[in-house]
Structure 1
Amino acid sequence: MLVGLIMAGGSGERFWPLSTPEKPKQLLSLFSNKSMIRETVDRILPIIESDKIFIATNILQVEEIKKELPDIPEENIVIEPAFKDTAAAIGYTTLIIEEKFKNLNEKIEVVVLASDHLIKNDSKFRDVILKGAKEARENSTIVTLGIKPDKPETGYGYIEVNNNEVLCLNEIYKVRRFREKPNRETAEEYVASGKYLWNSGMFIFTTSTIFKNFEVLMPEHMDIFKKIRIEISKDKSGIELSNSVKKYFDEFEKISIDFGIMEYSKNIKVIPVSIGWNDIGSFAALPEIFEPDDSENIIRDTKTIIHEASNNIVVCNDSIVSLLGVKNLIIVKNGDNILICHKDSAQDIKKIVHKYNQLKKER
């Protein structure tokens, strides 16, 4: 049985001021008339029924997610009591999944997805998910999706494949190792070798396989999961369950599942894919999605007056923005908050967000 686990607890700080803690990137309609999390759910509904889709989030976002996803059962919206990164979040939600379907007496394959990624080829994506689920079920592997790189990207981690031949799309390969985000020169070497894929952060496993990996590689997490399982068995959900397990969540080391399991597990497989994927990590990614004007400006939901201005990104709802003699800027307005920064600083917007939050506390 295939189950979806959509990770929706992020704050999307690099998309401030559009993205806020209460309504982060995944709840925004950036690329269509649907929010990104709605797009994510709709993408998998043809192969996973709505009662088998789970959303892992936090207390700040839960009400907006309920409004956005009325077809998802309320008990499937899992509230993390504290942010302890993806190892705790995925393990916790997988426990809840096991409890809900414990009487079906069949293997449960879980596909873990981000709530804020763009995928253009939905049909091909679903085919790969089904293939990965079959591999995970039959061979007790953890399967990840590796994106075939089309440029030497330094903003992604990479997956090195244990294979001496040219990698074929949609085939299954043994993972040799995971690599951290490289510098430009190393990224060029990776792409030229043909043996490396971008790490998409999407993976598939059976519940029994992931907990066996926790038992061996993260025994401290597994000990906490055993205590949490007792609370889950008491038929609690939502905020009631979140409150009852908070004391256990406080015991978790804050660590991602990538560092805790994926980099050390001995049975990881990867499927190279080309599905029109983009993680939309910052405003700087918008030129990869939208058609620019004649001066390479990306203008969204904004009336503009432009003279000798090029390579800018402007998102200022219900505003008129005049650009004169400027280039390579990001200009974003949401309510009373306005961001102006150079494109090269797009990855550092979170530094402004932290200062903004400090300023709000002082008022």
Structure 2
Amino acid sequence: MLTALIMAGGSGERFWPLSTPTKPKQLLSLFSDKSMIRETVDRVLPIIPADKIFIATNILQAEEIKKELSDIPEQNVIIEPAFKDTAAAIGYTSIVIQERFKYLDEKIEVIVLASDHLIKDDVTFREVILKGANEAKENSSIVTLGIKPDKPETGYGYIEVNNNESLKLNEIYKVRRFREKPNKEIAEQYVSSGKYLWNSGMFIFTTETIFKNFEVLMPEHTEIFNKIRKKITNDISGRELSKVAKPYFEEFEKISIDFGIMEYSKNIKVIPVSIGWNDIGSFTALSEVFEADKDGNIIRNTKAIIHEANNNIVICDSGTISLLGVKNLIVVKNRDNILISHKDSAQDIKKIVAKYNE
């Protein structure tokens, strides 16, 4: 049985002031009239019904997500009691999914997706997901999607594939190892070798397989999961379930599933894909998605007056933005908040958010 787990607990601080704690990046409509989380759900609905799609989020965002995704059963919106990174989050929500369908005598495959990634080729994406789910079910593998790189990107982790021949798209390969974000020189080596893929952060596994991996690789997490499982019943959900799980969440070590499971598991497979993927990590990613004007400027949702200004990104909810003699800037206005940043500082916008919240 195929299910989806959409991770939607991020704060999207690099998209401030558009993104706020109660309306983060995944709830913004950056690329169409739909929010990014709505696009994510719609992407999988043709192969996974709404009652088998689950959303992992936090208490600040839960109500807005319920409003945005009215077709998803309210009890499928799982509120994490505390942020303890993805190992705890994915394990906890997998328990909820497993308990929900334990009356069915069949394996449960879980597709873990981010709520705020852009994927242009939905058809190929679904085909690959189904292929990966079959591999996960038949061979007890944990499957991930590896993005075929088109440049030496230093902002992504990489997956090294255990193969001596050229990688074919949409085929299944054994993972040799995961690599951390490289510097420019190493990234160039990775791309030229043809044996490395970008780590997309999308995973496919059965609940049986993921908990066996937790038992071997993260026994402390397993002990806490077992305590939580004893407290879960299908007649509680939402805030009530979060309150029940909260005391146990405090016991979790804060660690990602990448560091806890993916880098050490013995049966990780990867499917190389080219699906128009972008993790939209900061405002500069818009330059890879939208067509610029003749001077390299990207203007969204506003009127702009431009003179001798180049390679800027401008987003405004009202009024007119005028640019004169500037280049490589990010200019964003949302209600009373205005951000002006150099593109090179896009990754540091969260530092401004920290000061804003002081």
Q: Shift of the alpha carbon at 1:331?
A: 0.3
For normalisation by structure 1, the TM-score amounts to: 0.98
Q: Flag structure 1 segments of 5+ consecutive residues without an equivalent.
A: 359-363
> Residue in 2 aligned with 1:157?
157
The alignment status of 1:267 with 2:247, answered yes or no, reads no
Q: Shift of the alpha carbon at 1:234?
A: 6.2
> Residue in 2 aligned with 1:348?
348
Distance in 2 of aligned mates of 1:226 and 1:249? 12
Distance in 1 of aligned mates of 2:333 and 2:37? 22
> Residue in 1 aligned with 2:137?
137
Indicate if the aligned counterparts of 2:2 and 2:48 stay in contact, CA closer than 8 A. Answer: yes
Q: Shift of the alpha carbon at 1:88?
A: 0.5
Distance in 2 of aligned mates of 1:65 and 1:141? 31
- Runs of at least 4 residues off by over 6 Å: none
1:353 alignment partner, SS class: helix
> Residue in 2 aligned with 1:357?
357
Indicate the larger mover: 226-235 or 143-152.
Answer: 226-235
Distance in 1 of aligned mates of 2:19 and 2:318? 17
Indicate if the aligned counterparts of 2:100 and 2:234 stay in contact, CA closer than 8 A. Answer: no
2:315 alignment partner, SS class: strand
Structure 2 letter corresponding to 1:188: E
Q: Shift of the alpha carbon at 1:235?
A: 2.8
> Residue in 2 aligned with 1:171?
171
Q: Shift of the alpha carbon at 1:231?
A: 1.3
Distance in 1 of aligned mates of 2:109 and 2:329? 44
Q: Shift of the alpha carbon at 1:230?
A: 1.1
Distance in 2 of aligned mates of 1:245 and 1:206? 22
Pair 328,108 (structure 1): closer, same or farther in 2 beyond 3 Å: same
Distance in 1 of aligned mates of 2:65 and 2:232? 22
> Residue in 2 aligned with 1:188?
188
Distance in 2 of aligned mates of 1:65 and 1:234? 21
Identity %: 81
1:104 alignment partner, SS class: coil
1:103 alignment partner, SS class: coil
Q: Deviations over 1:35-93 (max 9, x none)?
A: 00000000000000000000000000000000000000000000001000000000000
1:286 alignment partner, SS class: helix
Distance in 1 of aligned mates of 2:179 and 2:112? 20
Q: Shift of the alpha carbon at 1:233?
A: 2.8
Size of the aligned set, in residue pairs, is 358
Indicate if the aligned counterparts of 2:153 and 2:187 stay in contact, CA closer than 8 A. Answer: yes
Mapping 1:210-229, distance limit 5 Å: 210-229=210-229
1:189 alignment partner, SS class: helix
Distance in 2 of aligned mates of 1:233 and 1:225? 14
For normalisation by structure 2, the TM-score amounts to: 0.99
> Residue in 1 aligned with 2:254?
254
Calculate the aligned-residue CA RMSD, in Å.
Answer: 0.6
Q: Shift of the alpha carbon at 1:319?
A: 1.8
Distance in 1 of aligned mates of 2:352 and 2:185? 29
> Residue in 2 aligned with 1:53?
53
Distance in 2 of aligned mates of 1:234 and 1:296? 54
The alignment status of 1:126 with 2:121, answered yes or no, reads no
Pair 221,62 (structure 1): closer, same or farther in 2 beyond 3 Å: same
Structure 2 letter corresponding to 1:226: N
Distance in 2 of aligned mates of 1:233 and 1:164? 49
The alignment status of 1:313 with 2:316, answered yes or no, reads no
Structure 2 letter corresponding to 1:250: E
> Residue in 2 aligned with 1:81?
81
Distance in 2 of aligned mates of 1:36 and 1:234? 29
Structure 1 letter corresponding to 2:251: E
1:82 alignment partner, SS class: coil
Indicate if the aligned counterparts of 2:5 and 2:113 stay in contact, CA closer than 8 A. Answer: yes
The alignment status of 1:66 with 2:63, answered yes or no, reads no
Q: Flag structure 2 segments of 5+ consecutive residues without an equivalent.
A: none
> Residue in 2 aligned with 1:117?
117
